[in-house]
Amino acid sequence: MPSVYLYIPNIIGYFRIIINFIAFAVCYSNKALFALLYFFSFVLDGVDGWFARKFNQASTFGAVLDMVTDRVSTACLLALLSQFYRPGLVFLILLGLDITSHWFQMYSSFLSGKTSHKDVKHTGNWLLKLYYGYRPFMAFCCVSCEVLYIILFLFADEKSTSLLSVCKGVLNQNPVVVLVFISTLVGWAVKQVTNVIQMKTAADACVVYDLKRSK
């Protein structure tokens, strides 16, 4: 039996890390290459999950590796965008929300004895259940979020740019670009709402755990 470190989905995970290193190394000198590499790494996020299910190689290590890679790569891109745009604080808030929401979810899942942070069967929120329970919906939201950030990165210039002005400029592009942009905005908005709900639900679970422990 192969070591968990050598599971196929985990090897793909290592490859994703290398791709992200290369992508961010060229992000200032070659934006198009950065966008291509970053999106390719994101696509591999879905591929490693398929391999994990196909070969029965799902692992706790792989789940953590997957989430850490996702969160760090998105955080780095948001940090970049905060330097290109004004107000940059918008992207830093999104960065904080993304990390905090997923950290709370992972930790509350651990306290509840769940094997996956995606196990939300017992939550009362329908959007959270839809997000984690219906894979195409989750994929749409995640892809929308990353594609939106890539679009903003590609349209940024060397100087600090008004976020609102760039969004208006994108809407003046050809119809295909406008359609993609609006679609990604919808998916991005749903994901942010889901992040807030996830953070609050997970925080409530931590509080319930504390109350039970104190009795």
Residue 180, token pair as written in the block? 């993609």
Residue 18: which region, alpha, beta or left (left: phi > 0; alpha: psi -120 to 50)?
Answer: alpha
Catalytic site positions: 70
Judge whether 202 and 107 are in contact, CB under 8 Å.
yes
Helix (H, G, I), strand (E, B) or coil at 116: coil
Give the whole-angstrom CA distance, residue 88 versus residue 90. 5
Helix (H, G, I), strand (E, B) or coil at 149: helix
